[in-house]
Amino acid sequence: MEQNLYLLGLSSMGGLGLFFASLLVFADKKLRVEVDPKILLIEEVLPAANCGACGQPGCPAFAEAVVNGIADVHECTVGGEEVAHQIASIMGVEAKAVQKKVAKVFCRGGNKETDRKAIYYGVTSCSLAAKVGGGEKSCKYSCLGYADCVDSCKFNAMWMNANGLPVVDEDACTSCNKCVEACPRNLIELHSPDIKLHVYCKNRDPGKIAKKTCKVACIGCTLCVKPDPENIKMVDNLAVIEYSDAYLGLEECAKKCPTNAIAYQLDPIH
């Protein structure tokens, strides 16, 4: 009797196993999603940074977006022109020239140049300081110096110098845009390294106030505008360059600035 029960149980378990195995085989055939081989090929040439600079959550998602026509072959800024050409070859399209861009920090008001209104004891985060007390500096447009931008960079292309300002290694910069997004005061922008003239200030206060809070602030004197009024305008007390692919800037404009807020081909700070 016991032997019969044992055999019955064994056969039942075997039957159930066979049933579920058949069910899995059937489900696999019906529910299997075929992956386009182009997606796998594109994944292989991507840098696997998964930084999200392309607007997708990661490299696999970007590869799928390219194949589905949602993303352009040039949108992997980390891979640059080389990767763009490889992806274009896989997709059978013509690759365009990729314009390299690098991060530029538009503030030169470090610890030595800026006036202080208080001592900040909060969490060392630019985003939190901007919301709570605005940090230590009197200039409400200045770099807060708590390194949110540096922390956001996955490619070791930024660091903080001894004067409390972020420094960009333009050779290592991949234009991933993470530091741009991290700055609560919008002091970082991506520009072509070929552009030589920049206004390294975002202060829009009247000149008298700007001068008191920072030694290198734009004071709205308009001296830089006079040599090149077509490309440099005054907007809310601040000199603003109207960038274009052809315009590199006039060195004469930088020479006119009494505070060195505008500079031509300025060497990176250290």
Q: Classify domain 102-264 by CATH number.
A: 3.30.70.20
| Closest by CA position to 86, among listed 102, 98, 70, 100 | 98
Closest to 167 measured CA to CA, from 260, 258, 266, 247: 266
- pLDDT exceeding 70 applies to what percent of the chain? 85
The confidence score (pLDDT) of residue 217 equals 97
Q: Token match 């991290």: residue? A: 182
Q: pLDDT tens, 133-182?
A: 888 899 999 999 999 999 999 999 999 999 999 999 999 999 999 999 99
Q: What is the pLDDT of residues 61-74, one digit of tens each?
A: 999 999 998 989 88
Query: What pTM was computed for the model?
Result: 0.78
User: For the segment 13-45, what is each residue's pLDDT rounded down to a tens digit?
Assistant: 655 566 556 655 555 555 555 678 888 899 998
HSE (side-chain half, CA atoms, 13 Å) at 153: 25
Per-position DSSP letters for 91-103, written without gaps between them: HT-PPPPP---EE
Tokens encoding 170: 């333009």
Q: Please give the CATH superfamily to which domain 37-91 belongs.
A: Electron transport complex subunit B, putative Fe-S cluster (1.10.15.40)
State how far the Cα of 199 lies from the Cα of 195, in Å rounded to an integer: 12
pLDDT of residue 51: 84
Q: For the chain, what are the domain ranges?
A: 37-91, 102-264
More confident residue, 260 or 7: 260
